[in-house]
Structure 1
């Protein structure tokens, strides 16, 4: 087939054509193998993304190009997962972006190559389409991400964002961890424990550990508090309902704007007006001075315990 014929083929010219194609498909429409090699050589109009997979332009490959190449490498039925899928779902606090993780049926023999990590599985998820590409659902993509991490803070941050932004619940993550292989799940299970208890961030997870260390009665995380007339007071990071004690993990970053500072001052005024004892702690101190924070918690608890409990209600 002459160049004039294959050059106008819909695979290369149709509006919205994928740009990422198999070399074998190019040969099928008549592009000679030597032409493919020449056009993919340095300075040519195309480039080789992976063995046997061609990007039909010579610009910087986009994330979409890399995702399409990974799917072509995994072949029919492949599903994108891990950080690539989470980014496409809209999550932001993610580690690295160099690897594209793709799931394939366990019966298929496809190896890792280039930027593609291939995982064979008997539990291929029903995909969600994002920009026309099949993605694992958020709980599966989160678990596929965190069980390959070695840093508990990174794992906790990924899970916390998914929960805090309501992409999934902690229980959905726990269920997904329970369904898959056990290898690599010990650390994610530890990281998930504070989220199952109600924590919604790495700082709150640190606070959860410090509170447990204090030996004080259990409480609740992120629960709205109202006065006797039903007026909203605040939603403390941690609430000990037995004695109406609020614990706020207030970071400097949260108070960098005047509006944030005003909101915190107003919140604390509502606590005082309602008779609630509130302790504020910087997130950094949960790790650098845990013993001092424990002592402060116990002192605040004694103070709250010594006065009559105000008539406030937790939702």
Structure 2
């Protein structure tokens, strides 16, 4: 083959369409295309173009969003086969040649778009695409690829055939580059309303990214937690109604007669001395202290003969019937227990 010989597409036909349009230099070599021919194709006015270091777009026009995403992953993925960065064969997928991107995943706003967030900007509007890699990888941000490093790479999720960071991590990476409080609030709210994740997972990721010192992020988190608690309370009301549980008294405080405050409860059945408490803690710097407070309250109530059923918003979302069965069992078991201490029930 000389520089005047057109490159035959035949060696590339067994790849899926997008992977015939975007390829690494190493992958091209593995298909018999030497570096000199690649350079010739990328000359001004040529049929190809270099979109990122070592990654080539095999047509002259602008890249599509899908091509940009794959190019960023090809640039960032760890080399997993001899001379082929980030694109080893994956058995059973596309004739054994579907790319697998090792130690690299899309994150930030692009990932939220792929997760289906309506409040995330469209992919063509993003000048740069965030890609998450291990901290020690030797890579730099360049072109449309922005490198985001982490000491612990999460397990990726699949979206549009690409590895994508889980929603909490993608949110944290997106928020890190946002200054608009309204945009941050909309993204966080959609994460909860859309059922993508629980508020606690979002706050944990923001805390790990050291973003909770930013006032506009703190304001958005406060709105998020209020939103998450309202959703959890509605599910709790629905659990009682749809699964035939007796009506409790809702949102009450308990006190010993003439004594100290025992704590607030989301639902309480006085005759059976059974309480339900929603765990809507926000994991921040004082997470251990908050958990200790929960545990002390629960132990105190149980010493008084009150059964406390601890329910998380995630359990209400994923296993409502099972949580109803747990509460029903606690109510039925009340007849076999010693009577609880008398407590004063007050509205909260």
**TM-score after normalising by structure 1:** 0.59
Correspondence 1:20 to 2:22 = yes
Equivalent residues of 1:9, 1:29 under 8 A apart: no
For residues 232-274 of structure 1, what are the alpha-carbon distances to aligned partners after superposition, in whole Å with 9 as ceiling and x for unaligned? xxxxxxxxx99xxxxxxxxxxxxxxxxxxxxxxxxxxxxxxxx
* Distance in 1, Cα, partners of 2:14 & 2:157: 25
Correspondence 1:29 to 2:31 = yes
Tell me which residue corresponds to 2:337: none
Q: Could you say if the C-alpha distance between residues 34 and 5 of structure 1 is closer, same or farther in structure 2, counting changes exceeding 3 Å?
A: closer
Correspondence 1:93 to 2:81 = no
Equivalent residues of 2:107, 2:132 under 8 A apart: yes
Three-state SS of the structure 2 residue aligned to 1:198 is: helix
Q: Which runs of 5+ in 1 are unaligned?
A: 201-219, 231-240, 243-315
Tell me which residue corresponds to 2:44: 42
* Distance in 1, Cα, partners of 2:217 & 2:131: 20
**TM-score after normalising by structure 2:** 0.53
Tell me which residue corresponds to 2:147: 118
Correspondence 1:82 to 2:84 = no
RMSD (Å), alpha carbons: 3.1
For residues 38-90 of structure 1, what are the alpha-carbon distances to aligned partners after superposition, in whole Å with 9 as ceiling and x for unaligned? 21233322221112210112233111111111111112211110111111111
Tell me which residue corresponds to 2:177: 148
* Distance in 2, Cα, partners of 1:176 & 1:138: 10
Three-state SS of the structure 2 residue aligned to 1:175 is: helix
Tell me which residue corresponds to 1:157: 186
* Distance in 1, Cα, partners of 2:9 & 2:2: 11
Equivalent residues of 2:117, 2:190 under 8 A apart: yes
* Distance in 1, Cα, partners of 2:42 & 2:13: 18
Shift of 1:111: 0.2
For residues 274-304 of structure 1, what are the alpha-carbon distances to aligned partners after superposition, in whole Å with 9 as ceiling and x for unaligned? xxxxxxxxxxxxxxxxxxxxxxxxxxxxxxx
Three-state SS of the structure 2 residue aligned to 1:117 is: strand
Equivalent residues of 1:27, 1:33 under 8 A apart: yes
Equivalent residues of 2:211, 2:217 under 8 A apart: no
Count the aligned residue pairs. Answer: 210
